[in-house]
Amino acid sequence: MSRVGIYGGTFDPIHNGHLHVISQLLENKIVDRLILVPAGQPLLRENTPVASSAHRHTMCQLAISTLPLHIASHVELNPIEILRQGPSYAIDTVEAICSTYPDDKIFLIMGADAYSKIDQWHRGDELHDLVSIISVNRPGFAPHGIDIAALDVSATAVRAGLSTAVPEIVATFMRENSLYAN
């Protein structure tokens, strides 16, 4: 039985903080395989994503390519949510991935900020029955999860041009496609 982590997010854009989480989960053997799932139409965000789903998917691909091979070889980018029409719920993604990996232990990975809103998620109570949830402590949020020394970076700061905490290949893609402030 393998331990499969589902790490979803808007990834608008994916940044070094996300890559740190991925690396730490795999290096510390918390999961054996990680499925990165960019959100389609996130429902609990105040604003819709700035970058299109296609751009966010490409940025995730580029970011994964910067990880060391011993990490990247255990990461799969899954477009299930951005291919879905209409709102995309975590429970639907979890059910689909559980059916793909029926003999494995599935973990849903999220930041402490997302975990604090899990009671607002569609069928959120059912998630606990299907998967184990790993909440990753983030700077600035009440700790109630695992501590992997998360980086103090946010996609909001990157979009506003206040942070350059993205891999250079992602920054180049952002510039070439006129994404965000800079």
| Residue 110 counted as domain residue | yes
How do residues 52-107 score in pLDDT, each as one tens digit? 999 999 999 999 999 999 999 999 999 999 999 878 889 999 999 999 999 999 99
Percent of the chain with pLDDT over 70: 96
- Is residue 151 included in any domain, yes or no? yes
Mean pLDDT of the chain: 92
43 pLDDT band, cuts 50/70/90, is low
Q: What is the mean pLDDT of residues 22-36?
A: 98
Q: Are 112 and 96 in contact (CB under 8 A)?
A: no
- In this structure, the number of other CB atoms found within 10 A of the CB of residue 98 comes to 15
CATH number at residue 30: 3.40.50.620
pLDDT for position 95: 97
**Domain assignment of residue 182, yes or no:** no
Tally of structural domains, the chain: 1
At residue 165 the predicted structure's pLDDT band, cuts being 50, 70 and 90, is very high
pLDDT for 36: 98
How large a percentage of the chain has pLDDT more than 90? 74
- The answer to the question of residue 121 being in a domain is yes
Domain that holds residue 169: 3-176
Q: Which helix (H) or strand (E) holds 107?
A: strand 105-111
- Considering the domain boundaries, does residue 16 fall inside one? yes
